Copies of this chain bind each other. A is one copy, B any other.
Amino acid sequence: MRIGIDIGGTKIAVGLISESGQVTKRRKVKTDAHKGYPGVRDQIRGLVAALLSEAGAGATDVGRIGIACAGQIDHATGKILFSPNLNWTDAPLKHDVEEATGIQTFIENDVNAGTYGEWRFGFHREASNVVGIFIGTGVGGGLILNGRLFRGSHGVGGELGHTTLNPFGYQCRCGNRGCFEAYCGGSYIEERVRQRLMQGYRGKLWDIVEGRAGSVHVGRIEEAYLLGDDLCTEIWGEVVEYLGAGLQSVANLINPDLIIFGGGVVKGTQRLIDEALLVMKRRAMRASIAGLKIERARLGDDATLLGAAFVKDE
């Protein structure tokens, strides 16, 4: 069996996984992010011990611990070079977990792990060139190319969220302007709408959120757009055009046979992806999207656990 771990900024998910990819036990706890890297490292050690004890198993029963984490991973050393949401730099996670548990440990970027998990266990490797796009508060991307997870030369490839859709566009938290994420990430979209409410915009959205700007989320923006709210129609249209252009770009560059959409914004909206796909089809070269399948992620949070536990160290 294997253990998959997904370290997020707010929660850590852990799963015990059979060699055939069944998650047989799960745990989820709040991340002790305020204790810094040493605190979270100790939390992981405790979670592994608890999971093994619950399963009546020992370290020698586990072939691998796979850990997914946002940020840039140095695969040669298993160090997390930089994790923006945990604010870690050069964290020697592989070394520390192996020392603490005696179990071989592998570290992977969370979106890479999620893309690999969906591809292998959700889609049974049915495509050989796959783009995973996860739209939540931000936008994450993962690439399967020629049937393998593609990491680029230094392990940091696939950063679709920080490709540029307009060099003079919206400010992104990465420091640049006009990133895919700055146009299509849920937190960015919501922030733009909230600002307009704060500036006095009143319309159907205002009624839907009952006058609380803090209650704005993408699902409610869609609801108001469908009711004809002017602000939401404007902002929704912009997101759709930029998302469609971003999809067209990656289709023209990669010529994938499958795009998998996941993340909270994808789950929380009905029409966003469909409308953006119409833009993509209008814009993309016909040959680039011939035979292209579009699917929603099938495994939810398990994709990341499974991907971390099984992704190959190539």
Q: Is the CB of A165 within 8 A of B164?
A: yes
Q: Which segment, of A185-193, A238-246, A260-268, A296-304, faces chain B?
A: A238-246
Q: Is the CB of B290 within 8 A of A246?
A: no
* CB proximity of A155 to chain B, nearest CB, Å: 7
Interface presence of A76 (CB below 8 A)? no
Q: Is the CB of A253 within 8 A of B145?
A: no
Q: Is the CB of B253 within 8 A of A158?
A: yes
A163 neighbours in B (Cβ, 8 Å): 248-250, 252-253
Q: Is the CB of B129 within 8 A of A253?
A: no
Interface presence of A199 (CB below 8 A)? no
Q: Is the CB of A72 within 8 A of B287?
A: yes
Q: Which of B145, B153, B167 contacts A256 (CB 8 A)?
A: B153
A166-B165, A167-B245 are contacts. A290–B253 as well, Cβ < 8 Å? no
CA distance A145 to B174 in the complex (A): 26
Task: Scan A149-167; emit 1 where CB is below 8 A from any B CB, else 0.
Answer: 0111111111110111111
CA distance A123 to B232 in the complex (A): 52
CA distance A152 to B165 in the complex (A): 22
Q: Which of B148, B154, B254, B285 contacts A290 (CB 8 A)?
A: B154
- Chain A residues 233 to 292 lying within 8 A of chain B, measured CB to CB, are 241-242, 244-246, 248-250, 252-257, 283, 285, 287-288, 290-292
Q: Is the CB of A255 within 8 A of B154?
A: yes
Q: Is the CB of A162 within 8 A of B252?
A: yes
A136 neighbours in B (Cβ, 8 Å): none
Q: Is the CB of B255 within 8 A of A152?
A: yes
CA distance A242 to B168 in the complex (A): 9
* CB proximity of A277 to chain B, nearest CB, Å: 15
CA distance A154 to B251 in the complex (A): 11
Q: Is the CB of B253 within 8 A of A154?
A: no
Q: Is the CB of B153 within 8 A of A242?
A: no
Interface presence of A128 (CB below 8 A)? yes
* CB proximity of A144 to chain B, nearest CB, Å: 11
Interface presence of A170 (CB below 8 A)? no
Interface presence of A213 (CB below 8 A)? no
Interface presence of A178 (CB below 8 A)? yes
A256 neighbours in B (Cβ, 8 Å): 152-153
Q: Is the CB of B160 within 8 A of A253?
A: yes
Q: Is the CB of A255 within 8 A of B164?
A: no
Interface presence of A77 (CB below 8 A)? no
Interface presence of A176 (CB below 8 A)? yes
* CB proximity of A184 to chain B, nearest CB, Å: 12
Would you list 17 pairs from A and B whose C-beta atoms are within 8 A, ordered by A residue?
Answer: A72-B285, A81-B287, A82-B287, A141-B253, A145-B150, A152-B255, A153-B255, A153-B256, A162-B285, A164-B165, A165-B165, A165-B167, A166-B166, A167-B242, A167-B245, A176-B248, A178-B245
